[in-house]
Structure 1
Amino acid sequence: MSGEQGALPPEYRSPQAEALLRQAIELIEQARPMPLSASSMISKDEVLAVLQAAAQALPEELRAARWLLKERQDFLARVQAEGDQIIATARSQAEQMVQRTELVKMAEERARSIVADAEEQARHLKLETEDWCDQKLGAMQVVLERTMTTVASGRARLQGAERREAEPAPAPTEPETPEGFFDQDD
């Protein structure tokens, strides 16, 4: 396994110091006890070699741990920045949609107002036009009534003249004279 560990970058290797410390613990646990004592007999050189190797491995592992912590912090900062950007973009889009909605509402309200004004103007113009037409037709009616009266009286005059022409003119009558008045010749 240590051959595989050498091929990996230091930041991905399992901690050597921990393994070495466990090895030192095993050496102490497996040490032969001293008779009539709580002490054990251990190989000083062997334990010192393991502890020195662990001490040498600690700085490398601490660097790797610091590197992992920094990478973690960088990753969290990137993710936080991306999250903040996504939220900002979503808020911006939501604001734009609200503004568009508000613009649409304002445009619709303005359109309704324009249509209402146009309908009011059309109604007003229609009433004015109807009043004007009624006045003109009334004036024309008066003129036509006068014209009809004039035509009727003209026709009546003509009909009166025609009747007089159609009636035979009375024959000139000779004044009646008494018969014997101018009777001198007899």
Structure 2
Amino acid sequence: MSYDDDQVIDDQMTVELGDTESILEKVADMIATAPNVPLSSTPRIDREYVVGLLQDALACLPDEIRQARWMLKERQDFMAKTQREADEIVEAARVQAERMVQRTEVVRAAEAKARQVLESANADSKRMKNEMEDYLDQRLASFEIILDRLTNTIAQGRRRMQLIGTQPEAAEPAVESTDSTGATFFDVDETDLY
């Protein structure tokens, strides 16, 4: 914007928050493009207009600084809030990880205990099986001996019967004996029961 003698300044600016930068740019542009005073290198500018612009900029500056401070505080509050949330998330993750580790340790301990109980049960089962087999073997050996004796007794009885059946029958009276008390008894081998 140049200010010749014939140019009238009728720019009335309404100053708003955030305009400080644009006002200062306008002043800098006005000084840079101002025509020089004839036969001099001094720029010719409207002093009142420039001073008014600078005063408007200064008037806006506290509000902008206050707004910038507010924005910085909001940013810091937001950063603190997000940091707290991040810390809470990390803490929750750490607690959950500890719980998982504890559960894993509990599971490992339970699995170890289960293996120990299973091994003990298997050992007890083997021991009981061996004891049962030994007991059954002893009982079967006992039955075998009894059956062998019984078989021998039956075989002897059959041989006696065969001998009795091949001998001629003689009528021998059964011999009765008496003991010292006078009671009578008889000899089983002498009877015809077999």
> TM-score normalised by the shorter chain: which range applies?
0.7 to 0.9
Counterpart position of 1:60 = 63
CA root-mean-square deviation: 2.5
**Residue 119 (structure 1) aligns with:** 122
- SS of the residue corresponding to residue 167 of structure 2 reads helix
> Offset of 1:58 from its aligned partner?
0.5
Deviation, structure 1 residue 44: 2.1
1:117-156 equivalences in 2 (<5 Å): 117-156=120-159
Structure 1 unmatched ranges of 5 or more: 7-12, 170-186
TM-score (norm 2): 0.69
Cα separation, 2, equivalents of 1:108 and 1:118 = 15
Counterpart code for 1:50: L
Structure 2 equivalent of residue 20 of structure 1:
23
Deviations 1:123-181 (A, max 9, x none): 11111001001111112222222222223223323332232235x79xxxxxxxxxxxx
Q: Secondary structure at the match of 1:42?
A: coil
One of 93, 96, 120 as aligned partner of 1:93: 96
Identity among equivalent pairs (%)? 40
Q: CA deviation at 1:121?
A: 1.1
Q: How does the TM-score come out when normalised to structure 1?
A: 0.72
| Equivalences for residues 75-86 of structure 1 within 5 A | 75-86=78-89
Counterpart Cα distance in 2 of 1:89 and 1:75: 21
Higher relative contact order (CA 8 A, sep 6+): 1
Runs of 5+ unmatched residues, structure 2: 1-12, 172-194
1:165 alignment counterpart:
168
